[in-house]
Amino acid sequence: MKVDRQEALERLRPWHQRQIEALGYEVSDLRTAEQVHGSLVVRVDAKSAGLTPAADGLITNDSSVILGIYVADCGAIYLHDTRRHAIGLVHSGKNGTELGIVPTAIQAMTREFGSQASDIVVQVSPCIRPPRYEIDFASGISEQCMAIGVMIEHYHDCALCTAQDLERFYSYRAEKGQTGRMLALLSLRRS
């Protein structure tokens, strides 16, 4: 039986809520993206709705909100501008990478916060990778980041494959849709 995304999120909601609270936030502070496998990146803050429709990436410089992205094979890409106190969290799998969502997010941070790619620290979460998946989109994300000006020493990839470690991660592909979703969270420290 295939597990619907909304059903999976409902089942995991109490655990996700505890993680948000452990970081010092309330669920009402959470800002998430609809995640349509596109390239829309939106700036959010305390006045924004909890869910941003049609988006796959969120950026902010507001420490009163916590960004969240749900994944089960796609990568959660964490972005942190260490100089301008701004962050981004992006959902990128095969489609998002082909559409260049990570460079789009970095460009949005440049436009919105005055960020420079060379100041942004990038972290790639566990995601599906070869040989469990025919496309190495994590490698594509790395190439895109270097091309836009991210410094090699600021680029980090955990190199973990979701489909190879089902004890630790959810994998939509390996579990044939019968799986939960991991919640990637990112926030600025509250002052």
Q: What is the pLDDT of residues 113-157, one digit of tens each?
A: 999 999 999 999 999 999 999 999 999 999 999 999 999 999 999
Determine the structural domain holding residue 123 and report its residue range: 5-187
Q: Give the residues across from 158 on adjacent strands.
A: none
Instruction: Supply the CATH number for residue 78's domain.
Output: 3.60.140.10
Q: What is the pLDDT of residues 175-190, one digit of tens each?
A: 988 888 999 999 997 5
Measured between alpha carbons, how far is 127 from 142 in angstroms, rounded to an integer? 13
For the chain, the domain total comes to 1
pTM of the model: 0.94
pLDDT of residue 2: 53
Q: What mean pLDDT, rounded, does the chain reach?
A: 94
Is pLDDT at 1 greater than 50 in this prediction?
Answer: no
Question: HEC profile for 87-134?
Answer: EEEEEECHHHHHCCHHHHHHHHHHHHHCCCHHHEEEEECCECCCCCCC
> Residue 130 CB: number of other CB atoms within 10 A?
12
Q: What is the pLDDT of residues 66-91, one digit of tens each?
A: 999 999 999 999 999 999 999 999 99
Close Cβ partners of 135 (under 8 Å, ≥ 6 residues apart)? 94
